Amino acid sequence: MGAPKRNRKKYERPSTMWDKQRIESEHKLAGAYGLRNLRELWKATSEIRRIRRNAREVLSGSAGSEVGRQIISRLARYNVVEEGAIPDDLLVIKPESLLERRLQTIVYRKGMAKSLKQARQLITHGFIAINGRHVSSPGYLVNRNEEQQISYYKAIQIEQQVQNSAVAAASEAEKAAEPGNEPQTGNGE
């Protein structure tokens, strides 16, 4: 048996699984943010749903205004809303605002990777650090203070590696094209 605390789902699946419009929009978002599967999008959607629910409770008066300030300060720390936001501003937040704060997206936007897929690969393979601390989760939500501290954990030059592999491929193609370098076959001809 594992720890009961870690076995809970952090997302809710959509109520209508085979809705064509929802599926198309989810696939567009997953492609735009380089998500591995739709479960990562469902986590962001569930978190936004929870924030909106809490904001509605604050607006209705059933929850105190202190709860509203705590929610706003937490989202302001992650740069999702401004510091002086009101609970009405929480009702218009979309999942894209949370997906923009993922480490994978920020690494790509900062130009540390050529694509979102490469940013994900760099993170999972251990090339990215925040404040010198190794982070291997592409879904890590980066707060405002940590955003400037993102760097490479291991020294890497993406441009140099691409150029070296292109040069190596070109030299192998030239060797194969030379008249004295015909491929040898194993049947003795």
- Tens of pLDDT, residues 79-120: 999 988 998 999 999 999 999 999 999 999 999 999 999 999
Q: Are residues 46 and 32 in the same domain?
A: yes
Whether the CB-CB separation of 87 and 70 falls below 8 Å is answered with: no
Tell me how long the chain is. Answer: 189
Report DSSP letters for 116-134, one per residue. Answer: HHHHHHHHHTT-EEETTEE
Interior/surface letters 129-160, b for 16+ CB within 10 angstroms, e for the rest: bbeeeebeebbbbbeeebbeebeebeeeeeee
Number of domains in the chain: 2
Closest of 82, 90, 103, 109 to residue 40, by C-alpha: 103
Q: Are residues 111 and 167 in the same domain?
A: yes
Q: Which domain holds residue 53?
A: 10-16+26-97
Global pTM? 0.77
Q: What is the pLDDT of residue 189?
A: 45
Whether the per-residue pLDDT at 160 is higher than 70: the answer is no
Out of 97, 131, 154, pick the residue that ends a domain: 97
- Tens of pLDDT, residues 25-72: 999 999 999 999 999 999 999 999 999 999 999 999 887 788 889 999
Higher-pLDDT residue of 188 and 74 is: 74
Residue 32 falls inside a structural domain: yes
Residue 3 falls inside a structural domain: no
Looking at the DSSP bridge assignments, the partners of residue 102 are 141
- Tens of pLDDT, residues 165-179: 666 666 776 766 666
Residue 187 falls inside a structural domain: no
Q: Are residues 35 and 87 in the same domain?
A: yes
Q: Are residues 32 and 87 in the same domain?
A: yes
Q: What is the pLDDT of residue 163?
A: 57
Q: Count CA atoms within 13 Å of residue 185 on its CB side.
A: 3
Residue 90 falls inside a structural domain: yes
Whether the per-residue pLDDT at 19 is higher than 80: the answer is yes
Q: Are residues 82 and 110 in the same domain?
A: no
Q: What is the pLDDT of residue 70?
A: 93
